[in-house]
Each structure stands twice: as structure tokens, then as C-alpha cells.
Structure 1
Amino acid sequence: MSGNLPEDFTSFVGRRRELDQVRRLLSSARIVTLTGVGGVGKTRLALRSAAELRAGFPDGVWVLELAALAEPWLLAQAVADVFGLPQSVRGPLPALIDHLKDRRILLVLDNCEHLLEAAAAFVLELLRACPQAHVLATSRHLLGFPGEHVLPVPPLASPPLEQLPAPAELAEWEAPSLFLDRARAVDPEFTLTERNRTTVARLCLRLDGLPLAIELAAARLRVLDVDQLLERLEDRFALLKGGNRAGLPRQQTLGALVDWSYQLCSAQEQLLWSRLSVFAGSFDLTAAAEVCSGDGIEPDEVLDLVAALIDKSVLLTEGSGPGGGRRYRMLESIREFGRARLAESGGEPALLLRYRDHYRALAARATAEWFGAEQLTWANRLRAEHANLRGALEVCTVGPAGDVAGLELAADLWPYWVCCGFLSEGRQWLDRMLAAGPARTTARAGALWSSGSLAVLQGDIPTGTALLTECEDMAAELDDQERLAWARQYRGLALMFGGGDLRQASALIEDAVRLHRAAGNLLGLGKSLYMWSPVLSFLGDGQRSAAVAQESLEVAEGQGEQWCRSYALYMLSLAAWRAGDLGSAKALALHSVRLRAPFRDSLGLAMAVDILGWIASAGGKAEFAARLLGSTEPIWQSVGALEFGFQDMVAYYEEAVRRSRAQLGERLFAEAFHAGTRLDQDEAVQLALSDTEPPVPAARTSGNGLSPREQEVAGLVAQGLGNREIAERLVLSQRTVETHVSRIMTKLDLGSRAQVAVWVVRRDG
């Protein structure tokens, strides 16, 4: 685990004393909060401190920016997302605690002031349960709970004017040093001289040593010299304070600087500044033009206006986005100022609706184009827009006008929620919209099956089944064949996951296949086919199961699609494994992992990596198998797969664990397995893809179609042992034994344990 500490693109000036204080505090305390006014440099100090302390946290330094997070209920989930954890039906905090309970990490929570109560509760719970975790927070206010160590962040130091040093010594003071550094970014020839040293020192004092204010002022050197800059600042402060130039409070100083920057903008630049403040997080030029043009700004004027705001340090660039093109953002103090101007203008409600509708259109287009060659581009683009998607959903929760819009937006994002691992967040948004939305509409039916399917995928079978049944009834009443197909498809999956009637599950999914095929819905067809495949396999129809998975693969390949194809490959790999063709099983599983990894679909990756673990174990690579199987253990614990729907795969997993433990011995196996559990998702993928040797061939089935473990279970059934006794004898869970017995009866077409006993006697006789 390496963390996600961002790269620092600008030089860091001064703060040696504060850096040492943070280091000292974190050596004995587990929560340190950096406090201070906006613009004083809390974030930069936190990130620099984290970079210097990285070596002391072997499990990584992890950063979460909270400014764009409006909802307190998303805080724990946002932290879990930073660690790449699968979204669990248990909730994000238990999964996060399980992941971090024995890891030494530093978590940086930046800009907590608007989420103080939620942040305090989260940090307190995390630190109680994870004894090696440390937190470094930034906030304009302390979090306020026992054990919190608060470090006020002071402004940068400047020398007194009456003891002004020579230029070389002046450059060693923090505030003038920062001004000099940023001035040279604008004018490489700028330097401190005997002539300008007093002006620079006075300017830094008038700016109260606030880094953001100094950087904003330095940006004006593009059009002013340093004397003109100071003169205009003095005039500005005098105007704002009624002629009293002494002792400006620091927050007013920053406000004056931001307001001065605002006043120096043209009317159009001011208008765009205020409108851009609706974006949460970063945005691209297309979004800026579509949301912010009109009523005084033409679309083709946005580019030049954005460039002007960059020149004035109002906007920052963030490199290229996933689809190409630059992305931009505002510092939080700048954004707050712009939002206030927007509210004062009376234009905020209308602009928020345009903002919402832009992301509704983006989500609808992503869904329409999801099942195709641009799928991964869309996945990455929606990830880049995640904060804005949350912002648009939040707009939908305000007022009755947002009811249908919220249902449609949350449902249109369903492929993103599923494929990119945001199951819990998707459910919460969908459930919020369903609680407020109108009854008996196609939009509501779409949200019902979307939420129901996410619940099923998380193992919440009762909730999922109820939502899907409601959708099925509504869709039938509305004659909505598309939503009827989706509801039946996932109700069939719920039956399979919940240990229900497999024949009924097969019939439901088969009907969904028929409806999707008739409608030409390739996304639905591809998904329903690969979902049908395991049901057919569990019913003992391996040949048809493989054929259905192959058709799913062909449908996906025909569109250049990637995610559905990875699942079809997984099903074909599983079929090859069951047939004893380890070479094909491994090749198919590796291909599945390669296709799936960019989506960060934790559950799907765990399934494919597990097959590679089984194959490694069967081929005698016990240590490698133990690490692979350990790498998926946290995911299974989070998703709860041992409790629903994956019993057949669990049996193979347990068999591989038993075999590897027997080959290595308990101590070496435990060490390798534990090492696997500490890998993050990227590291687990790298490990899985590192083994390119062909597997050792091994016969997996006998002529009767039973695996070796199933034949062993059948023999114990014939001896008259019950499921609990068999579980104790084989060191398996009772649920796994029940699954084996059910599979045996299905494959042999037998109706009772007594008939299994007779079959064993005849086989052995």
C-alpha cells in the first residue's frame, strides 16, 4: 500500500517550525488538527508534513479532500473509496475498520469545517478501532473531542519595517520568500533589490503573511510593477475599512484581496467566476461552456475567459482529464466568494438547474454508450466527475421539480455504480430519490430495479427482492418491457444468491434474455446471459452453461465492450476449471483480470483471482496460491459472499486453502496468506498477472461429473454421516457441505440422501 499523496507542482516555502511541530505531535498523538483562517496554508502544510512523514507509515499516507463533499453521510464512504474498498451492505465504516485494524497509516482529512460533527464522530470511531491509524486534519475550527491535538497555523513571518534586513537576508523570511518565488513564476527576472525591498516587505505585512493572499497579489505582477501593486492594495484596504489602515483582521485581509481580484476582472470574467462556483471539485471546458454560457457570455467566449481567470490565479489547472483536455478547479476560498456573488445576483437557482441538467445529460449519454468500445473512457470520465455527479444529485433533492430528475439521474448512473464499485452509494442515492419521487412512473420503475439490483449484488436479498418485485408489478402495469426484463433478471439472480429455487431462477433469467433480445438491448442481453450461465451450471447443465457464457462473450466482443466480456470470460474459466482443463481456465481467468482491473470492480476481480489461486494450489504452487487467496479475503469479508450465492466457488476456495496449508505447513501458510491480505487491489492484480507459467494438468472430474471433493462428500453420505459431521470431518463449513450435497443430487438426478448412498455402493461395487 503506497497511499495517494498528490504530487506537489509548486515549491514549498518556509514552515520549518510548523513541520517540526507536526512531526513531534504525531509521534505521540494520533489525531492532530491544523486550524487557522482561510488562505493561511493549512492544506499545503498538511500535505508537506505527510510527505515528510511518509516513511513512518509503511501502509501509506492517504488524503481525502472534503471541500466538495456536501453530505455528512458520505464521509465514511468517501474515506473507504480512497482505500479502494468494495462498498459493503454492512456499511463503509465496518469495512474500513476491518481493513485498517492492523495497518499503520496516516489519513489526511482536508477541509473538515463544514462537516465538523460527522468528521469528529468518524475520526473517534476509527481511532478507537484501529490502534495504528493516525489522522492529520485541517479545519477552520477544531473537531472538538478528547485526545485531539490542535496546532494553530500562523501566517508567514515578515521582518518589522524598522529593522528591515538587506535583500539577501529578507529573502530568507517566509512571507517575502514566498512572494519572491511566486513573482519569479510570473517574471523570471524579478529579484529583491535595495530599491524594492521596503515595498515587498510592506506588501507582505499588509497581506498579513497569508500565503493565498500573497500568491494572488504576486499574480498581478503580470500587469503591475511591485510599487503599483502596493499602492492599489493600500487604496483597496483604505476603501474597505473607511480609511483605517491599521490592524486589519486576517480573514478581512483575505476577503479584501479576493474582492480586489474580483474587481480587477472584467464584467464577463466576474460573471464566469460566480457561475463556475457551482462546480464541486474540478470541471472541464465543455462543462464550463454548457453550464455557464448564455445571459452575457457566449459559448465561444468561455475559453478566453477561462484563460483570463487562470492568469489572475482565480482558476487552477489540473492536467488532462480522462477524455483529453484540461480540467480546472477553484481554491475553496475563491469558490466561496464566487458562490456568494452568485447568490447575491439571484441567478443561483436557475444556474443550479443548468448544472443538474448538464450532468443528467452526461449520465444518460454514458448509459447509452456504455456497452461499447468507449466503455472504459466513460468509466474514467464519470470517476473524474464524481464530485459533480454528487452535486447534481444533491440539487435533485431540493424541491418537487427534482423528483423525476433525481430518479432518472440516479438510475442512469447504474452502470457506473455497478461496474466501478459504488454499490452502497448508488443504493443510498436511489433510495433517497425513491422516498421523494412520484409513484407509478417509468422513472420510478427504473429506480426500483436499479436499487434492487444493487441490494442483490451486496447480498441484501430480502430488500432487493422486495424492490424488484415492486418494479416487476409496476412495469407489467405500465407495459414497460425493458424494466420488466431487468427486474426479472435480478430477481432470478436473487434466487440463486439466496439459495432459492434454481429452476425458477433459470426461468426468470431466461425470460429476461428473451425480452432483452427482442428489444435489441445488448447491455441487458450480455449481462443476463452471463448471469444465466452459473444457474445452468448449478442445475447440472454444464454444456448449456458454457454455450450461454460463450454467447455473452460474443455479444460483448461484437461491440468492443470490456466489463461484460470479463464476466463471460470468468464463467468460461470456471467451466474449464470444472472440466479439468487448467490451461484454458488460467488463460481465461488472466484475460478476465486484465479486462476488469481498470474498472476497480473489487468483487469481480476477487472472483477471477480466486480461480488463479485454485489453479496455483492444484499445480503445487502452494505459497503463491496462499498469497493470491489471501488477497481476496478482505473483499469476501466485506461483501459477505460466504453468506450468499457463491457456495460452489467457496467449496473450491476452501479446498485450495486446505491443499496449500497441507503443502506449506500451518506457519508458512499463515505468513503467506497474511501477506496477501495486506495487498491493495492494484498489488493483488499485479501478483495475479505475474504468473505466466502454464499450470500442471490435473484431472478435475470423473466420468460421472462429480469433482473429487463431491465424490468424497458422497462417500461420507453413504456412511450415514449428517452434514454437520461431514463438515467436522473435512474441516468445512456446514453451509458448504449442504451445497456439495445439493450439487451431487442435481448432477446425479437423485432425490434423497438414501439414493446417494445406493449410487455410491453401485459405483464402488
Structure 2
Amino acid sequence: MWFVDFAPLKLGALVPHAIAAATGLVVHSANVMTALTRFLRDRRTLLVLDSCEHLVDEIASCVSQILRGAPLVHTLVTSRTPLRVAGEQTRRLPGLGVPPSAENLSAKEALTFSAIELFVERATERHESFVLGDAEAPAVADICRKLDGIALALELAAMRIDVFGVEGLRKQLDDRLRLLGARRAGTERHRTLAATLDWSYGLLPAHEASVLRAVSVFAGAFRPSDAAAIAALPTRAAAVILGELAAQSLLSVDGEADSREVLYRLLETTRAYGLEKLVASGEDQIARLRHAEHVRDVVGVAAGSSHHFRHGNGEPLTVATSAICVVPWHGPPRYLGKPRCSWSSPPPAPCYGITSR
């Protein structure tokens, strides 16, 4: 077995050289790929290629040639995006396991979940007196759930346990991208959560980055047609881009809305990052306006083309883009329960309706 770490490599032309160096092959020929394929031809071995997403085209070409010329060689690739070569089998790695609910969770029960186990292990390394008790278990479970079970995020969070404590750390997670940093070891992109997301975001073409920013307004599941409305794209074009973002692990496939459309969802960590990028781009106001208009239109269709709802006291309420009642939007109405609006000042009576937040 040979291991090749592509993270430090910047030039795609050096991919064959990196693999050759890992195998110990000294190449005297100008054609490195030919020499490498000849060297591997009769060997039964495994090539482990790590961090391939930034050089995916060059690595895919190299792997294809190796597999054609050296049929006994197998490759194991880690990448945020598939190589898309013949015979490739893709396995998506989800976040570590977290409990669905932290209510009445004991420490013993909590430690059966891999995310909590990792957090406690790293927290103990950071602060040797840290012990997970029953009192802290629900808060730690909530931390792990808010961080989507992402191993890097959990390790970075555990490093701050000595500064904030469990409850303080949970309260700080609304600013998670700035909070989770300061690790000195490892590659630069693994030292902070923001740096890891910057790495992936920086690899996106402009049109894919634009859609990722746009869909960050969705707090829950959404369809390609929903994303198209916010990104101002045809539904088919939006669906293709969403598929690419999902292939790069920046979106999760959340199931199927019906026989025609897939449901997508952003992890909370990625969504927080996308919202920051949306604001930084100056696109947040237009995205939220489009979101409100889309919700108005969807609700109108569901209500028989009527956009009128009623307050709890029976007075009519018109759902419009300028409406002052605002609730989180979680996708088309059929995916929602009955939402209660949140007002900037107390309303005269409970109000029900849906707009953008």
C-alpha cells in the first residue's frame, strides 16, 4: 500500500510525480505516467490518495490511466467530490452519531454516541479534570448536534472547554465560525472551521458559489424549484448546480419531495458559513426579498391563490414581502407544521402565516 497526500500540492501537472515519489519510483523518463504505469503493471497493491478535490481532474486522468494499464492496482480516494472515473464506487461519510434528543440524557447514554465520545475524549485531553456527568450530558449532546457531528468541529470546540465550560461553549456556538479555531497543528485548512469551509468554497466555480450563498436562506429542506426562485435561475439549471454541490458534500440529500424532485438541506455549520458569505457579497437583501416573494407565491397556491390569512382574533392578515410577521422558512408548506409568527412588538392576538426571515 502507498499513501499520497495531495493537500500540499498546488500544480496538477505534478500529480504523476507525487504518486511516483510515494511508491519510491525514480523516473528518468520525460513521460512519468508511462513509467509509473509500467512500474505498477504487475503489482497487486492499493493506492490511497488523500485530499484530491482541488486537483480532481488531473487525479482522475492519472487514476484512469493507472487502472487501465495496471489492472491489479486498486485506489482508495478521499475527496469532497467524486473522480467520476469508470468503475468508481462512491461512499459518503456522514457526521458522527449524535442523539436525536438531549432531554433526560444520562452521561452513560450520551457516551454511546460517537460524536459525544470524541468530544469528551478531546475535552479531557485539553482539561484533565473534565468529566462528563449527567448534568452536563444534555448540553454536550446539544453542542455535538449543533456542530452536525463533524469531527473537526467537535475537536476544535473541545479545545475551548477550559475557557468557556460546557454551558458557556453551547451559548457561544451561534458564532461558531470564529469560535472554533486556534489549533496550531495540522494543515492550514484544518486549523479552523472557517478555513476548512474556505477551502471548499474557494474551489467552487462562481455560479455554484452563488447558488450556495442563495440557498443558505433556507433553514430546512428545499427543492430545486425553491432554490431556483432564490437564485433567479431556471429550475433545471438550479437542479444541476445543486447536484454538483451535493456531490462536493456541501449539501445533504434529504429525501424526495415527490417523484420529480429531490429535497436538499444544508448542515447548520455550512449554512452559517453561507449566510456570512451572502451578507459579505451584498446579496442578502435581494435573496431574502426573493425568498419572501417565493413563500408568498407558494402559500398562495396552497391556499387556492389567496394570500390572505387571519390573526388569532379573526382580523385578516395579508402575507406580503413587506409583512412584519417573520418566521423561519423550512421549505414548501407541506413540510411545515403550523408556524407562529414572531413580531418585533407584541401583536394584538396570535398570528399565523409564513414569510421570509
Please give the TM-score of this superposition, normalised by the length of structure 2: 0.52
Q: Which position in structure 1 is the counterpart of 2:34?
A: 94
Question: How far off its partner does 1:339 sit?
Answer: 11
CA distance in 1, matches of 2:165, 2:62: 49
Aligned mate of 2:178, from 259, 275, 288: 259
What does 1:335-346 align with in structure 2 at a 5 Å threshold?
A: 337=195
Cα deviation per residue 1:459-487 (whole Å; 9 max; x = unaligned)?
xxxxxxxxxxxxxxxxxxxxxxxxxxxxx
Aligned mate of 2:147, from 190, 196, 207: 207
Cα 1:200–1:119 change in 2 (3 A) is same
Asked whether the 8 Å contact 1:175–1:204 carries over to 2, the reply is: yes
Matched residue of 1:67: which SS?
Answer: coil
Asked whether the 8 Å contact 2:185–2:191 carries over to 1, the reply is: no
Asked whether the 8 Å contact 1:109–1:136 carries over to 2, the reply is: yes
Matched, 1:146 2:50: no
Matched, 1:190 2:130: yes
CA distance in 2, matches of 1:128, 1:122: 10
CA distance in 2, matches of 1:174, 1:215: 12
Matched residue of 2:90: which SS?
Answer: strand
CA distance in 2, matches of 1:164, 1:103: 56
What does 1:434-583 align with in structure 2 at a 5 Å threshold?
A: none
Q: Which position in structure 2 is the counterpart of 1:156?
A: 96
Matched residue of 2:49: which SS?
Answer: strand
Asked whether the 8 Å contact 1:167–1:193 carries over to 2, the reply is: yes
Cα deviation per residue 1:13-44 (whole Å; 9 max; x = unaligned)?
xxxxxxxxxxxxxxxxxxxxxxxxxxxxxxxx
Asked whether the 8 Å contact 1:164–1:170 carries over to 2, the reply is: no
Aligned mate of 1:316, from 146, 160, 185: 185
What does 1:280-319 align with in structure 2 at a 5 Å threshold?
A: 312-313=182-183, 315-316=184-185
CA distance in 1, matches of 2:63, 2:76: 10
What does 1:708-723 align with in structure 2 at a 5 Å threshold?
A: none
Asked whether the 8 Å contact 2:43–2:73 carries over to 1, the reply is: yes
Q: Which position in structure 1 is the counterpart of 2:74?
A: 134
Question: How far off its partner does 1:201 sit?
Answer: 0.4
Asked whether the 8 Å contact 2:53–2:81 carries over to 1, the reply is: yes
Q: Which position in structure 2 is the counterpart of 1:63?
A: 3
Q: For residue 136 of structure 2, what is the amino acid of its counterpart?
A: N
CA distance in 1, matches of 2:16, 2:194: 24
Q: For residue 178 of structure 1, what is the amino acid of its counterpart?
A: L
Matched residue of 2:159: which SS?
Answer: helix
CA distance in 2, matches of 1:175, 1:339: 20
Matched residue of 1:189: which SS?
Answer: coil
Matched residue of 2:21: which SS?
Answer: helix
CA distance in 2, matches of 1:73, 1:191: 50
Q: Which position in structure 2 is the counterpart of 1:251?
A: none
Cα 1:340–1:181 change in 2 (3 A) is closer
Cα deviation per residue 1:339-392 (whole Å; 9 max; x = unaligned)?
979xxxxxxxxxxxxxxxxxxxxxxxxxxxxxxxxxxxxxxxxxxxxxxxxxxx
Matched, 1:226 2:166: yes
Q: Which position in structure 2 is the counterpart of 1:177?
A: 117
Matched residue of 1:231: which SS?
Answer: helix
Cα deviation per residue 1:122-153 (whole Å; 9 max; x = unaligned)?
11110111121111111111111221100011
CA distance in 1, matches of 2:118, 2:39: 40
Q: Which position in structure 1 is the counterpart of 2:15?
A: 75
Asked whether the 8 Å contact 2:102–2:139 carries over to 1, the reply is: no
Matched, 1:330 2:330: no
Cα deviation per residue 1:374-411 (whole Å; 9 max; x = unaligned)?
xxxxxxxxxxxxxxxxxxxxxxxxxxxxxxxxxxxxxx
Asked whether the 8 Å contact 1:109–1:135 carries over to 2, the reply is: yes
Matched residue of 1:154: which SS?
Answer: coil
Please give the TM-score of this superposition, normalised by the length of structure 1: 0.25
Q: Which position in structure 2 is the counterpart of 1:116?
A: 56
Question: How far off its partner does 1:95 sit?
Answer: 1.6
Cα deviation per residue 1:277-319 (whole Å; 9 max; x = unaligned)?
xxxxxxxxxxxxxxxxxxxxxxxxxxxxxxxxxxx32x206xx
Q: Which position in structure 2 is the counterpart of 1:519?
A: none
More helix by share: 1
Cα deviation per residue 1:533-563 (whole Å; 9 max; x = unaligned)?
xxxxxxxxxxxxxxxxxxxxxxxxxxxxxxx
Cα deviation per residue 1:412-438 (whole Å; 9 max; x = unaligned)?
xxxxxxxxxxxxxxxxxxxxxxxxxxx
Q: Which position in structure 2 is the counterpart of 1:509?
A: none
CA distance in 1, matches of 2:111, 2:44: 39
Matched residue of 2:75: which SS?
Answer: strand
Question: How far off its partner does 1:90 sit?
Answer: 3.9
Q: For residue 67 of structure 2, what is the amino acid of its counterpart?
A: L
Which structure is richer in relative contact order (CA contacts within 8 A, separation 6 or more)? 2
Cα 1:93–1:160 change in 2 (3 A) is same
Aligned mate of 2:106, from 166, 177, 180: 166
Q: Which position in structure 1 is the counterpart of 2:319?
A: none
- Aligned CA-pair RMSD: 2.4
CA distance in 2, matches of 1:332, 1:187: 21
Question: How far off its partner does 1:112 sit?
Answer: 0.9
CA distance in 1, matches of 2:29, 2:194: 35
Cα 1:203–1:336 change in 2 (3 A) is closer
What does 1:383-402 align with in structure 2 at a 5 Å threshold?
A: none
Q: For residue 150 of structure 2, what is the amino acid of its counterpart?
A: L
CA distance in 2, matches of 1:165, 1:337: 33
Q: Which position in structure 2 is the counterpart of 1:217?
A: 157
Question: How far off its partner does 1:336 sit?
Answer: 7.6
Asked whether the 8 Å contact 1:67–1:332 carries over to 2, the reply is: no
Cα deviation per residue 1:174-220 (whole Å; 9 max; x = unaligned)?
11011011111111222221110000000100111111110110000
Q: Which runs of 5+ in 1 are unaligned?
A: 1-60, 237-256, 263-311, 318-328, 342-765
CA distance in 1, matches of 2:63, 2:55: 12
Question: How far off its partner does 1:260 sit?
Answer: 2.6
Q: For residue 151 of structure 2, what is the amino acid of its counterpart?
A: P
CA distance in 2, matches of 1:148, 1:233: 38
CA distance in 2, matches of 1:339, 1:230: 21
Question: How far off its partner does 1:259 sit?
Answer: 2.7
Q: Which position in structure 1 is the counterpart of 2:212?
A: none
Matched residue of 2:3: which SS?
Answer: strand
Q: For residue 330 of structure 1, what is the amino acid of its counterpart?
A: E
Q: Which protein has the larger Cα radius of gyration, Structure 1 or Structure 2?
A: 1
Asked whether the 8 Å contact 2:46–2:73 carries over to 1, the reply is: yes
